[in-house]
Chains A and B, each alone.
Chain A
Amino acid sequence: MKRARIAWAGAVHDAVENNGELELLTPAYKGRRVGFDEVVWLPPLAPIARPRTVLALGLNYADHAKELAFKAPEEPLAFVKGEASLTGHMAFTVRPDGVQFMHYECELAVVIGQPARRVQRAEALQYVAGYTVANDYAIRDYLENWYRPNLKVKNRDTCTPIGPWLVDATDVPDPMNLALRTTVNGKVTQQGHTKDMIFDVATLIEYFSGFMTLMPGDLILTGTPDGVVDCQPGDVIVTEIDGIGSLTNTITSESHA
C-alpha cells in the first residue's frame, strides 16, 4: 500500500494510492477519489505525540564519500534534524540569496514502525513501518567544522521535502536493492543504487537502537550517492527511488519567498 497525507477541501486527510488517484480514508469521504493535482501533499507521516526523531546520514555511499574527498567512515556519520524542516511533495524550497552552492540529496527514508531498542541487525527490518523518499538539501556555503554537518546547512525551513508516499515495508522486499536517481529540469544528474550504501538499513537500525530507543514515526534518512549539483531558483528537482516514489520540488528564491 502507498499511503499519503494530504490537505484537500479544507482539511487534512489520510489517503492511499488507487489506480493513479488518491483514495481518501477519512470516514466522511471514505472511498472518494481525488486527483494528484487536486491536493496539497504533506509529509506522509502520521502525527505522533512526542517530538519526532529525524536521523540522517552523511557519507553513506562510497562514491559520495569519495566525491566529498573523505575516506569512507568507520562508523555511521549521523546527524539529527528537526521536524520543522520537513515539507511535502510538490513544495517549494527556499534558496537563500547570495549563496553559491545548494544541492539536493536523494535519500531512501526509513519510517520506524515499532519501538526499537538494542535491535540486532538480523531482526532490524521487522521494526520498519515503511519507506519514503527524502530530499535532504544542503547549502554548502554554510558548512562549518563544528558538529559538521552543522544545522545551518542541514536543518533549514523548507529544505527537507519528503514523500509523496509512505510505502508499506511489506511491499518492499529488499530495501537494499533499489535504484534511485535525481533529475534537474528533466535531465538526470544523480544515479545510484541502495546496494551501494556503506551502512545498510538494518545496520543503521542496529547502530542507533544500540543507544537510543527509536519510536514509531521516527525517521532515518540513509544518505545520498554521487552526483550532486547546484540548484537555482525555478529549477524543478525530482528525486525518485524505484518502487518508492518520485518526489518533486521546486526551488524558489529568498527574495520571492
Chain B
Amino acid sequence: MNPNPYFPGGTVYGTLLNFRREHALWAPCMHEAPYKAPPQAPVLYIKTANTFTRNGHAIVLPRGVVEVEVAASLGLVASEGGRVAGAVLFNDVAIPHESYYRPPVKYRCVDGFLGVGDAVRPVKDLGELASLVLELRVDGVMRQRTVLADLVRDAAMLWADVNAFQSMRPGDVLMIGTDCLDDGSRPRAKAGDAVEITAIGFAPLTNHFIEEQA
C-alpha cells in the first residue's frame, strides 16, 4: 500500500460518449428527441468530492440500490500552466441510467462513487496513452478491457477541447471516459463484490462494495 496515496485536490470531470463503441451504438438515436443532434462539445460531468474513495476502501451501495455500474477510467491530472502532470486510475461508479438528457447528479455524485488510484504516474513515464489497456475484474473475473486506442477524442484533443472553455487548474482532473460492453451496458457490481482495475505501469485499484448498514 502506498503510504502517501494520491487524493484529488481539484475538481474531477468525467467524459461521456468518448469511446467509439458507445458512440456508434448511440449514433442512430442521436438525431431523435430529446437529443436532436449528436454532441459537438465534449459531454462532461463532475464527480464531486463526496464521491472520492481511496484504493482498498469500501464503496457503500445506498439503501434500495442493488447494483451499480463500475467503469475503468484514466484521469489526467492538471499541473501549472494548463499542462498534464500525469495520469491516475479511477473506478467511475454510477447508478445505471438510460437517458443522457439531464445532468446525472443523483446517479453519479452519490457518496463514495469514485474509486481513486493510489498514485499519479508522471507524464514522462506514460508513453503512448493509445497503447494503454485498462482491465476491470469483478471478484477476479475479467469483465472488461478498455482500449485507449478506441477513444473518440484522444487524450490530447479532449484536453484541448475542454481547456478551450474551462481552464483545468492545478489539481483538477479530466477523466477521458469509460467504455461500454458490446451491448451498451457496463459491468455491474453488487454488495460483496470486489472490483479491481489494472493497467501496466499502474498500481492496481481495488474497491469492494458493501450494503449500507441499517
Give the interface segment out of A148-156, A172-180, A242-250. A148-156
Say whether A81 faces chain B, with CB atoms less than 8 Å apart.
yes
Say whether B96 faces chain A, with CB atoms less than 8 Å apart.
no
Residue of A nearest to B17 (CB): A146
Chain B 26-56: CB-based contact to A (< 8 A → 1; otherwise 0): 0000000011110111011110111110000
Q: How far is the CB of B166 from chain A (nearest CB, A)?
A: 5
Bound CA span A79–B48, Å: 11
Q: Are B100 and A84 in contact (CB under 8 A)?
A: no
Say whether B11 faces chain A, with CB atoms less than 8 Å apart.
yes
Bound CA span A145–B187, Å: 26
Say whether A53 faces chain B, with CB atoms less than 8 Å apart.
yes
User: What bracket does the count of chain B residues touching chain A fall in?
Assistant: 35 or more
Say whether A236 faces chain B, with CB atoms less than 8 Å apart.
no
Q: Which residues of A contact B160 (CB under 8 A)?
A: none
Q: Are B110 and A212 in contact (CB under 8 A)?
A: yes
Q: Are B166 and A78 in contact (CB under 8 A)?
A: no
Q: Are B165 and A150 in contact (CB under 8 A)?
A: no
Q: Which residues of B contact A145 (CB under 8 A)?
A: 34-37, 101
Q: A142-B41, A155-B166 are in contact. Are A53 and B49 (CB under 8 A)?
A: yes
Say whether A51 faces chain B, with CB atoms less than 8 Å apart.
yes
Q: Are A80 and B166 in contact (CB under 8 A)?
A: no
Q: How far is the CB of A225 from chain B (nearest CB, A)?
A: 21
Residue of A nearest to B106 (CB): A211
Q: Are A84 and B109 in contact (CB under 8 A)?
A: no
Q: Are A211 and B166 in contact (CB under 8 A)?
A: no
Q: Are A147 and B49 in contact (CB under 8 A)?
A: no
Q: Which residues of A contact B103 (CB under 8 A)?
A: 77-80, 147-149
Bound CA span A55–B40, Å: 24
Checking A53, A77, A79, A82 against B166 with a beta-carbon cut-off of 8 angstroms, the contacting residue is: A82
Q: Which residues of B contact A152 (CB under 8 A)?
A: 41, 165-166
Bound CA span A78–B104, Å: 8
Say whether B154 faces chain A, with CB atoms less than 8 Å apart.
no
Q: Are B48 and A53 in contact (CB under 8 A)?
A: yes
Q: Are B45 and A147 in contact (CB under 8 A)?
A: yes
Q: Which residues of B contact A213 (CB under 8 A)?
A: 50, 111
Say whether A228 faces chain B, with CB atoms less than 8 Å apart.
no
Q: Which residues of A contact B172 (CB under 8 A)?
A: 82, 84
Say whether A30 faces chain B, with CB atoms less than 8 Å apart.
no
Residue of A nearest to B161 (CB): A152
Bound CA span A47–B131, Å: 39
Q: How far is the CB of B29 from chain A (nearest CB, A)?
A: 12
Q: Are B105 and A78 in contact (CB under 8 A)?
A: yes
Q: Are A148 and B102 in contact (CB under 8 A)?
A: yes
Checking B10, B105, B167 against A55 with a beta-carbon cut-off of 8 angstroms, the contacting residue is: B105
Q: Which residues of B contact A200 (CB under 8 A)?
A: none
Pairs of residues from A and B, 6 with the lowest C-beta to C-beta distance, nearest first: A80-B46, A79-B103, A82-B11, A50-B49, A53-B48, A152-B41
Q: 6 A-B pairs, CB-CB below 8 angstroms?
A: A52-B49, A80-B109, A83-B11, A142-B165, A145-B35, A212-B109
Residues of B within 8 A of A (CB): 8-13, 16-17, 34-37, 39-41, 43-46, 48-52, 62, 100-106, 109-111, 165-169, 171-172
